[in-house]
Chain A
């Protein structure tokens, strides 16, 4: 069949176009600072300085301090958000919460506010509540900011599960908790993982919240350290900043790579 060849071919060509900017990123991050030139960004050069640049970015930005806390934020907060989002989706879709659409819109409405505008009141509130510059405070806000997205995806995904599934389980005498935990969650594997990795990436890459709500090295997330490299008042050479950007992107790239298997599995809800 022609389609069997055509489809991968189109994807491959598009994929190459998509990778072009990434090629620029890697090629230029691998140039020694002295040999980078803005009018020759496509051309790789013989001298390979990627490792040096990575090391320089790592040292200059003091990234080591920030890794632990950032890992905590980008694992715990999205995990909580996924569960909270799935729970509200379950409550609305399966348990048919009264005025469900209203509550759903209320939760999803959390996403309409421009983040920049809630920073200042959050900062003041955090200081007064004694959670400023604490990991607890950051986990809480990262969770909150991830919930609307999780709720939208999970509500719509769970909406695709036939209500008969729920009714059949009730007839079998299962509790609501059990139905949620043992039936609905396992059926939503790929959606849960997708929400998790997308939000984990968001948290990992966050700059604004981390900048505003923390200050000590143990609490401040990674990106705030990284942007110190890029500054109107100097900072580092472009190649170092690029190398730094590449370096901090590695964990999220690995996360995406390692979860691909889940999306290639033919998960079929019709079977349930």
Chain B
């Protein structure tokens, strides 16, 4: 009988696990939650932990609230985790997200706490430019606050420019002359990759040629097979075939490529400054950047691509109130000065004191009338279309050829998406 007994024991033990896995859920959950004054904060920018904690140190003193940091390094896993967490009682207090269709998805399911009041006071206090508001607006309300802001500019290796007597170009023609000079001296002008950031040059060429078409494309009013788009792709193809771009399969980080002189210029977001600093390059000495001139000289304003990542609060999160308090503080001058300097990046708050001279200037200029701010292609494009486009551009830069089949593939995805939106 003892054998029978042990079978029963094993069965009991087994069902204990079943119960553990299926039951529960109604009791108050305190597992893993933050202590008093701490807010659970999630982000897919896992590498920015030190900078977030630096800001958290300041907020603990001035606000009495700190961040309990959980970082992901994989954006896709992160997105799935956040989406699923709304089904549970582990709703995130504060988390980073994306503007555009990703944000609309969350609002459509009524998962976010609105931040309209916070925006009102931030704008009237001059903590954030009014222009930013539309990217955080769904319907009549605002949701989330901007976590960061970045502009897409051209970084260059300064010693290389000096060596060949090159100056920052102020027109597209000058930029091409710079590229030709570098090429003639055996230096690859521009960085290119076929993974993730394969869209960057498409974005730059289109925004600098026809910003209206750029906007129309992202909201489904224009087609990827329109003549204007094809023309831009052909221009890109000519540049690729001339040898302006580095090896798209080179997975060496952009900061290392610029540092080693593998390429002379990188078209990238201003968060690259932080990455360049981390490989001990000095702003103004080893590297610098300029705003990319329009490909079409006729345009009245210079197209400047910007991106902003929201920081959101889940509706009914455990610490919803203090999380919103934190979001409000995040937009303040104090928070933004700390943040921008910790990251070595610009801030959306014009009052923030950015120490990096070049970035500080850009921060000021961008608010002026000379520039037309355009949302980054990555956020401006609905996700399924974006995925198809990234694949298509990746193939295009690897094997430049007739762009039409690629554009047709992307457009098919776009047609499917926009028809569903009704």
> In the complex, A touching B, CB below 8 Å?
yes
Interface residues of A (CB under 8 A from B): 33-34, 36-38, 60, 119-120, 123-134, 140, 175-177, 208, 211-212, 215-216, 219, 227-238
Q: 5 A-B residue contacts at CB 8 Å?
A: A134-B31, A140-B21, A176-B3, A230-B73, A238-B252
Interface 0/1 of B14-51, CB less than 8 Å to A: 00010011111101010110000000101001111110
Which one of B3, B72, B85 has the highest number of Cβ atoms from chain A below 10 Å of its Cβ? B72
Residue of B47, B70, B71, B81 ringed by the most chain A CB atoms within 10 A: B47
Interface magnitude class on chain B: 35 or more
B40: A residues at CB distance < 8 A: 215
Does B49 lie within 8 Å of A228, measured CB to CB? yes
User: Is B280 part of the contact surface with A, judged by Cβ < 8 Å?
Assistant: yes
Q: Which of A36, A130, A175, A211 contacts B31 (CB 8 A)?
A: A130
Segment with Cβ contacts to A, from B270-278, B328-336, B367-375, B411-419: B270-278
Give the residue among B24, B80, B84, B252 with the most A Cβ atoms within 10 A. Answer: B84
In the complex, A238→B279 CA distance in Å?
10
**Contacts A231-B46, A238-B253 supplied; 8 other A-B pairs, CB < 8 Å:** A38-B260, A130-B29, A131-B20, A140-B17, A140-B21, A216-B70, A227-B74, A236-B47
Q: Is B77 an interface residue (CB 8 A)?
A: yes
- Given A132-B90, A230-B73, A234-B278, A124 contacting B84 (CB threshold 8 A): yes
B residues within 8 A CB of A175? Answer: 3
- Write out the residue numbers on chain B whose beta carbons fall within 8 Å of the beta carbon of A132: 31-32, 88, 90
Cβ A227 vs Cβ B3 within 8 A? no
Distance, CA A37 to CA B23, complexed state (A) = 55
Q: Do the beta carbons of B90 and A228 come within 8 Å of each other?
A: no
B174 at interface, CB cutoff 8 A: no
A237 to B252, CA, bound (A): 10
Does B20 contact A38, Cβ atoms closer than 8 Å? Answer: no
Whether the Cβ atoms of B48 and A233 lie closer than 8 Å is yes
Q: Report Cα–Cα, A229/B47, bound state, in Å.
A: 6
The 8 Å CB contact of B81, one of A133, A176, A212, is A212
Q: Which 9 A-B pairs have the closest CB atoms?
A: A231-B47, A127-B88, A133-B32, A235-B47, A128-B25, A228-B46, A227-B73, A38-B252, A215-B70
Partner of A231, one of B50, B73, B80, B85: B73
Least CB separation from A226: chain B residue = B73
- Shortest B30–chain A CB gap in Å is 10
Task: Name the residue of chain B whose CB is nearest to the CB of A60.
Answer: B50
Q: How far, in angstroms, from A37 to B257 measured CA to CA in the complex?
A: 9
**Are A212's CB and B77's CB within 8 A?**
yes
Q: 1/0 contact trace for B77-105 toward A, CB 8 Å?
A: 10011001101111000000000000000
On whether the beta carbons of A177 and B23 are closer than 8 Å, the reply is: no
In the complex, what's the smallest C-beta–C-beta distance from A56 to chain B, in angstroms? 11
Whether B275 pairs with A129 at a CB distance below 8 angstroms is: no
Cα distance A124–B42 in the bound complex, in angstroms: 17
Cβ–Cβ < 8 Å partners of A228 in chain B: 46-47, 49, 71, 73
Q: Which residues of A contact B196 (CB under 8 A)?
A: 232
**Chain B contacts to A: CB under 8 angstroms:** 3, 6, 17, 20-25, 27, 29, 31-32, 40, 42, 45-50, 70-75, 77, 80-81, 84-85, 87-90, 196, 250, 252-253, 255-256, 260, 262, 271, 274-275, 278-280
Residues of A within 8 A of B27 (CB): 130
**Are A234 and B271 in touch, CB under 8 angstroms?**
yes
Contact A123 B280 (CB under 8 A): no
| Cβ of A206 to closest chain B Cβ, rounded Å | 13
What is the bound-complex CA distance between A238 and B253, given in angstroms?
A: 8
Known A38-B252, A215-B32, A228-B49; judge A235-B73 contact (CB<8 A): yes
Rounded to whole Å, the gap between the CB of A257 and the closest CB of chain B is 30
Cβ of B33 to closest chain A Cβ, rounded Å: 9
Q: Which residue of B lies closest to A35 (CB)?
A: B260
Considering the chains assembled together, what is the distance between the CA atoms of A169 and B24 in angstroms? 46
A238 vs chain B, min Cβ distance (A): 7
Contact B48 A38 (CB under 8 A): no
Are B75's CB and A232's CB within 8 A? yes
B252 touches A234 (CB 8 A): no
- A38–B47 touching, CB < 8 Å: no
CB neighbours (8 Å) of B31 from chain A are 130, 132-134
Closest Cβ neighbor of B253 among chain A residues: A238
Minimum CB distance partner of B88 in chain A: A127
Q: Tell me, in angstroms, the Cα distance from A60 to B25 when the chains sit together.
A: 36
List the A side residues contacting B3 at CB < 8 Å. Answer: 175-177
B32 touches A38 (CB 8 A): no
**Cβ-defined partner of A129 (8 Å) among B23, B32, B42:** B23
Q: Report the separation of the CA atoms of residues A212 and B82 in the bound assembly, to the nearest whole angstrom.
A: 10
Output the nearest chain B residue to A232 by Cβ-Cβ distance.
B196
Nearest CB of chain B from residue A227's CB, rounded to whole Å? 4
The reply to whether B81 and A129 contact each other, CB–CB distance below 8 Å, is no
Beta-carbon contact of B279 and A124 below 8 Å: no
Q: Which residue of A lies closest to B72 (CB)?
A: A211
Question: How far apart are the CA atoms of A176 and B77 in the complex, in Å?
Answer: 46
Q: A211-B72, A227-B73, A232-B75 are in contact. Are A127 and B271 (CB under 8 A)?
A: no
Contacts of A34 in B (CB 8 A): 279-280
Interchain CB contact under 8 A, A236 and B278? yes
- Known A131-B21, A232-B196; judge A38-B88 contact (CB<8 A): no
CB proximity of B45 to chain A, nearest CB, Å: 5
**How far does the alpha carbon of A132 sit from the alpha carbon of B23 in the complex, in Å?**
13
User: What CA separation (Å) do A236 and B260 show in the bound complex?
Assistant: 16
Give the chain B neighbours of A130 by CB distance below 8 A. 24-25, 27, 29, 31
Q: Is the CB of A234 within 8 A of B275?
A: yes
Q: Kindly list chain A residues whose C-beta atoms are within 8 Å of the C-beta of B256.
A: 36, 38, 237-238
* Nearest B-chain residue to A133, judged by Cβ: B32
Given A134-B31, A176-B3, A233-B48, answer yes or no on A119-B280 (Cβ-Cβ < 8 Å): no
Chain A hits for B21, CB < 8 A: 125-126, 129, 131, 140
Which of A37, A133, A234 interacts with B48 by CB under 8 Å? A234
The CA-CA distance from A12 to B171 in the complex, in Å, is 61
CA distance A52 to B88 in the complex (A): 43
B32-A216 in contact (CB<8A): yes
Q: Give the complex CA separation of A137 and B412 in angstroms.
A: 44
Q: A119 — which chain B residues lie within 8 A by C-beta?
A: 80
Taken together as a complex, chains A and B put the C-alpha atoms of A232 and B47 apart, in Å, by 9
A128 to B31, CA, bound (A): 11
